[in-house]
Structure 1
Amino acid sequence: MDTDALRTFAEASRGGPRLIGIDLGTKTIGLALSDLGRQIASPLETIKRVKFTPDVARLRFLCEQHAVGGLVIGLPLNMDGSEGVRVQSTRSFVRNLKPLLDLPVLFYDERLSTAVVTRALIAADTSRAKRSQLVDKLAAAYILQGCLDRMRGMVESEDDDLD
């Protein structure tokens, strides 16, 4: 992750105290919400995708309801770091979203997020049906938490430089 992009996003997203993490799938959109201090990501909900306009309307409603200052969107890179069809689809979604939801966006590497969450749910002996209900919003929380941790680490290293 580019530190400059992260720093720019952190400054641009100060319009609201919270961030929303997004795990964009073809059938669902997993959402997570940060706390007011941007320390902890919690699963919020899973939107069943219908069409672009109602999907974005729900996202906009949640952003307004929770005073969101920015969006952290999982970028589904290939394991070698290259960009495939899913990345193109995610970038296209964001291009179409920007005119309708004027919030800063940060793309965040989501490689293995769903796999990590699924393994944790299996280890917790969660039923297959329950896993399918939870995995997308938990993956969004995993993505958002990674971003929050990086942002906090960036601030801490800048504070160390001042000492």
Structure 2
Amino acid sequence: MVDAMVSGGYLRGVKLGVDVGTVRVGVAVCDPDGILATPLRTLKRDSKNASDVKILVREALERDVVEIFVGLPRTMKGEEHASATMASDYAKLLVSTLRAADADIPVWLVDERLSTVSAHRDLHQAGMSSRDHRKVVDQVAAAGILQHAIDMQKARGTEVGRRVSADPQPGPTGGGAQAAPDLDAHSAQRILPEMEGYSEPGQQ
């Protein structure tokens, strides 16, 4: 990984945003200076073999990513239910897979209230038909998650969200996560050899 420079409290470097769904996973990326988050790709969820997680790790390694932000769905009251548990479990698996690849890339859970709603709205405004939304809405939502995270990092001069640990450790923050300021409501075996030559499953 390239050395990341901290400027004004902002960790410089390429970062990924991840929107976890039951069927698809949206991925977004930003430039090293965090000026703009852009949609990158949509992965098919693979709960059995975790091929989507392996592809995500490969993207992170190839792009010299310095941080990854995974959206944490919450209700408007700030409560966390089944979808939040799913995102949290996915983030823990991502951390474990990164470590198996000898990659010490921080993974943060960040508030993603209304990200998918905003993504659908943006696609409508761009003139895309509702029927075509499914192809890109997840990666657009991921871009929204990432943009909000990097904007808050710059505004606060510190990390945002909740850092994820692969091995849950009981504590005041729960789930093995280390607490950091959260976003506001508005806004085993090495895996690299088996990644080589891997082809992504067909999209739905």
Q: Which category of TM-score, normalised to the shorter sequence, fits these structures?
A: 0.7 to 0.9
Q: 1:38 deviation in Å? A: 1.8
CA RMSD in angstroms, aligned pairs only: 2.1
For residue 151 of structure 1, what is the aligned residue in structure 2? 153
CA distance in 2, matches of 1:30, 1:119: 16
Q: 1:130 deviation in Å? A: 2.3
Q: Which runs of 5+ in 1 are unaligned?
A: 1-9, 157-163
Q: Which runs of 5+ in 2 are unaligned?
A: 1-8, 100-104, 159-204
The amino acid of 1:113's aligned partner reads: S
The amino acid of 2:23's aligned partner reads: K
Render the CA deviation track for 1:89-114: whole Å, top value 9, x for unaligned. Answer: 11112222222114211111111111
CA distance in 1, matches of 2:112, 2:154: 18
For residue 87 of structure 1, what is the aligned residue in structure 2? 84
- Within the alignment, does 1:41 sit opposite 2:37 as a pair? yes
Match of 2:120 among 105, 118, 121: 118
Match of 1:98 among 84, 95, 103: 95
CA distance in 1, matches of 2:134, 2:86: 22
TM (normalized to structure 1)? Answer: 0.81
For residue 60 of structure 1, what is the aligned residue in structure 2? 57
- Within the alignment, does 1:28 sit opposite 2:24 as a pair? yes
Q: Which runs of 4+ in 1 moved over 4 A?
A: none
Q: 1:134 deviation in Å? A: 1.3
Q: Is the 8 A contact 2:57 2:94 kept in 1?
A: no
- Structure of higher RCO (CA pairs closer than 8 Å, 6+ residues apart): 1
Indicate the larger mover: 79-88 or 117-126.
Answer: 117-126
For residue 135 of structure 2, what is the aligned residue in structure 1? 133
Render the CA deviation track for 1:33-89: whole Å, top value 9, x for unaligned. Answer: 010112211110000112342111100110011111111010001121011011111
